[in-house]
């Protein structure tokens, strides 16, 4: 009987320890870092704006219609993986977690990357 309880205690502790491990998506505040986004997708088209990382080519965000709101800024060196410097960044009127980047009349949608 004592062996049974020892084994049961060991199994419970094992489950607790495995459940407490961190995963790639876990981060303070729930937002993914640039490093985490690139680790999940090395060819990701990402944009870092105001400390948060956004990613393009999400599928549903490319098919939806989003309207440009206020201009938030421009892309500068080191802010993005596939966007040229000087591209304009706009907020989306429909969703606060979508940014619209406009460069030479081509628009791309970027979704805020959140972890677990």
SS3 track for the chain = CHHHHHHHHHHHHHHHHHHCCCCCCCCHHHECCHHHHHHHCCCCCEEEECCEEEECCCCHHHHCCCCEEEEEEECCCCCECCCCCCCEEEEECCCCCEEEEEECCEEEEEEECECC
* All residues at 6 or more sequence positions from 108 whose CB lies less than 8 Å from its CB, including other chains: 45, 56, 83, 100, 101
Q: Which residues pair with 52 in a beta bridge?
A: 49
The average confidence (pLDDT) of the chain is 84
Is pLDDT above 80 for 13? no
**Mean pLDDT across the stretch 64-87?**
93
Quickly state the pLDDT bin for 53 (edges 50, 70, 90).
Answer: very high
pTM of the predicted structure, to 2 decimals: 0.71
């Amino acid at each position: 009987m004592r062996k049974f309880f020892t084994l049961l205690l060991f199994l419970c502790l094992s489950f607790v320890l495995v459940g407490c491990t961190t995963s790639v998506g876990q981060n303070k505040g729930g937002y993914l870092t640039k490093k985490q986004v690139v680790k999940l997708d090395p060819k990701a088209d990402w944009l870092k704006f105001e400390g948060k990382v956004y990613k393009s080519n999400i599928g549903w965000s490319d098919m939806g219609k989003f309207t440009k709101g206020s201009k938030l800024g421009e892309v500068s060196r080191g802010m993005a993986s596939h966007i040229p410097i000087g591209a304009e960044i706009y907020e989306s009127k429909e969703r606060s977690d979508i940014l619209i980047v406009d460069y030479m009349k081509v628009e791309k949608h970027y979704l805020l990357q959140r972890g677990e």
